[in-house]
Structure 1
Amino acid sequence: VMSVELFRVVKEELDSNGAGGLLEKVVPISGDVSLENLGIIESRVREEIWRDVDIIVNSAATTRFDERYDVALGVNALGGMHVQHFATKCCKLKMLLHVSTAYVHGTRAGVIPEVAFHMGQTLPGAEILYLDINTEKKIVEKRLRQLHTLNSTPKQITSAMKDLGIE
């Protein structure tokens, strides 16, 4: 991770200021963006992060078009929201960088420059004009409950969740 272009400027600044190596400043934390508080259960660890972290880089995503819907929703949609909520609790935060591989519903012809979208915005021709994340969560939870009630196998659940994403 340290060799990517994103960290070049930070690395150069730390090295030129005699602030020590970048590796001393970066601490990997195991977590899960699909969960609240990034899945960090220990309150002591969460509070230490909120107190000390000044840069968060989120590039967690699934880029498979045939991913299970519950997985894609959890990582790509809820993940960004959870990271943002977590970041608001960081008292020294200088930057939250969210790297997204966004898929925007709709149609457009020709060269399509990369531009920012506003929350809920879609392209012309979109069949669905607004995505209600809470409704989507309820749909996924209801379907998973149904599958578990039917004692579905993991393979059947995966297939059903992929089908739900297509729907």
Structure 2
Amino acid sequence: MKGGSAPSRPCGRTCCGVSRAFPGRWPRGTDTWHSVPAGSPPVDPGVLTPGMPKGTRMTSRFTELAVDCVDPRALARFWCAVLGYEVYEDEDGDFVSIGAPGTGAARAGDAPPSLAFARVPEGKAVKNRLHIDVNPSDREQAAEVERLLALGARHVDVGQGDDVSWVTLADIEGNEFCVLARRVE
């Protein structure tokens, strides 16, 4: 995309997960989602914007991952079971958001990122360019992989090789994710 707004899909969503159909999902004060033109140089996170005092660093916080899918409710149920999340928004099954218990849509403080599932007419066709890594919190990796397989995940080969420490799986719609070895905290 070169400048302008992202092209709209038949479902009313734009390519970046923002929609007129779901209030509150457009950036404040705009009616389009603007993207950085292809080939633009990386932006320094310390760059000031007009009106910001010197010494202020501009940063963003990762709060939500939007996932296009064929069946948002089914995918939300799967990921709720994987992550121990709960549904906090369901727009007639066309858009479903899930998050850590008690966080709701506010995603304030140190809440982990939420997942937002939006219905699109087409299924997944190619390997993900972005994926989720999960760490088992109360069991070893092998036991967690078995639990996830029982939920409907399946093993996938994305060229990871045999001697890696993670296990690559796909969710019920084919989105790849990795189960990392348990981390010691």
Greater relative contact order (CA < 8 Å, ≥ 6 in sequence): 1
Q: Higher helix proportion, which one?
A: 1
What TM bracket, shorter-length normalisation?
A: under 0.3
Please give the TM-score of this superposition, normalised by the length of structure 2: 0.21
Q: Higher strand proportion, which one?
A: 2
Which is higher, the Rg of structure 1 or of structure 2? 1
Please give the TM-score of this superposition, normalised by the length of structure 1: 0.23
